[in-house]
Amino acid sequence: MRVVLATHNPHKVAEFQQIVSLTRPDLEIVAYDGPEPVEDGVTFAENALLKARAASTHTGLAALADDSGICVDVLGGSPGVFSAYWAGQKKDAAANLELLLDQLHDIADPHRSAHFTSTIALVVPGGAEHVVEGIWPGRLAHAASGAGGFGYDPIFIPDGQPSGEERSVGEFSAEEKQTQSHRARAFAELVPLLAAL
């Protein structure tokens, strides 16, 4: 089965391909080269649907779109849907990370709880629309560590690590991330819907 992934972000494409290979190797992810819609939704679900609808209309294929971000409890859930633009319209991942660390500079560990959210929309041409969500709870470190992942990964310390370990996602292997991440959790919710197509 061929499904277009509605993103121009090469990191997301690679991550999705790795997740899909672990759970649905029969699914072929097709790159999207069409126009990007304006993401003017105020929720992850609204933005994911905007992107999936545009990609499905442009290609005539079933389309998947992810809208995701980091939500920090002490900031009322921000950056949230603005995660990619937290430091401005340039989508500068390093600047976004540095700004968030600066904003939390004086916040003690007990108050640094956060979670990654991934909302995936599936749009079938002339058919149904589905939205699923994956949450990856954890907290934010005081400094970046690790060279893996992208975005806020080097400062996010997921819950549920073995006793004594407090690694950031930047220190995870690709396989560890693809089996535990918010996108992997959302995709697991999507698998039965894909099987029904």
Active centre residues (catalytic)? 67
State the chain's maximal CA–CA distance in angstroms.
51
Q: How far, CA to CA in Å, does 14 sit from each of 5, 17, 178, 192?
A: 11, 5, 10, 22
Of the candidates 73, 170, 62, 71, which has an alpha carbon nearest to the alpha carbon of residue 120?
62
Of the candidates 137, 177, 132, which has an alpha carbon nearest to the alpha carbon of residue 16?
177
116: β partners: 70, 136
3-state secondary structure of 5: strand
DSSP-derived letter for residue 180 is H
CA 77, chain centre distance (Å): 15
Tokens describing residue 62 = 């079933």
CB-based contacts of 116: which residues, under 8 Å, 6+ apart? 68, 69, 70, 71, 135, 136, 138, 152, 156, 181, 182
